[in-house]
Amino acid sequence: MKKFLLNIILLLLVFSFNTYAQDDSEEDTANVPIFQEELLDEEKNYLTFKQSFIESLQYKAIENHKKALESLAICETLFPDNVPMLFELAKNHFALNQYIEAHHYCNQALSIEPDAFWILALSRDIFDKENNYSEAIKIQKKLYASKASEAGNLLKYYYQTKNIEKGKDLIAEIDKKYIYVLLLDFYKKYFFKTKKQIVKSNHKKVLENRELSDLKKEFLNNNNYTVLQEILKKEYQTQQFSDLLEDSDFGLSLFPTQAKLYLYKGLALNGLGKFKEAISVLESGLDYVFDNTTLTKQMYKALIVGYEAVKNTTKANYYKQMVQKL
């Protein structure tokens, strides 16, 4: 009797399982075609997006920003809210000096990720290029709140806008927190001048500017390279980095193989906090240095400043070793 009951129970279990399996199978079969089609479309879109995005990066790497934007346009039609894609769109428009478009894509990305550091940094750079320092400072404050190493860039903006009180407060904070800032001694001298020092400094600047003005007139009359060197030397000594950049750049258009001009342009870019550009200029200039140990050492030291600022310790240490070998 027990054996008979056991067989009945087993039969019922098998029947129940078969019925469930059949029902489930029928239900799945009905849904599979639609489900598979959706999956295939999604996978196809993803692969197209990935291919186009990689293409855009390749075009950007060779500075073909228009082609990069064409590839990114395909990506945008597929996944318009993809933040890395929006960031790339902003960067490529920025590289083409299309600031309105660059702002648009930065803002779109920030509406999705408001605290994205590198997108905020790009937005700041766009305002910087437009000389809109008030907006650049607003963003730079956020970047400094996120990373202490951004103190130097904020201090640079206070210097450019001659905001003495804000500069003093920030320097006090920098000292308190032991934050490394490039050219901090220069900023301290500027922000903490006494009235007597300001009068003396202004008088000295007037004399220097007269001298520079005369030298520039002379240079424009004869394009003499020696006169140009004197102009650049004075601009560097007086920390007039914007003028130094402009004049060294103009000098390179006339004397493109003079390594000293690359050095001055690199020093100007370092002074303006544009370290990546400085590195590129200085390393290009090394190709034109021949049998000049002093100039080579100056180039290496400027490169060390640039690489330390962008946190590339490997390259910074490499140039430190090169300096020691000279």
∠ CA 23-27-32, nearest 5°, is 145
Q: Domains of the chain (ranges plus CATH)? A: 54-191 (1.25.40.10), 195-325 (1.25.40.10)
The pLDDT value given to residue 290:
86
The two structure tokens encoding residue 272: 């303006």
Give which of 59, 61, 50, 58 is closest to 84, Cα–Cα.
50
Q: Which amino acid is at 200?
A: K
Rounded to two decimals, the pTM is 0.53
Backbone angles phi and psi of 211, in degrees to 5: -60, -50
Supply the pLDDT for residue 3: 42
Residues of the chain with pLDDT under 70: 1-39, 194-210
- What is the rounded CA–CA span in Å between residue 302 and residue 312? 14
- Give the tens place of pLDDT for each residue, 280-305: 999 999 999 888 899 999 999 999 99
Q: What is the pLDDT of residues 141-188, one digit of tens each?
A: 999 999 998 999 999 899 889 899 999 999 999 998 888 887 788 888
pLDDT of residue 35: 54
- One-letter amino acid identity for 227? V
pLDDT of residue 261: 94
For the CA atoms of 100, 104, 106, 111, what is the dihedral angle to 10 degrees?
150
Look at residues 214, 292, 281 and name the one whose alpha carbon lies nearest to residue 252: 281
- What is the pLDDT at residue 19? 40
Of 312, 278, 307, 273, nearest to 143 by C-alpha is 273
Alpha-carbon distance 245 to 232, whole Å? Answer: 9
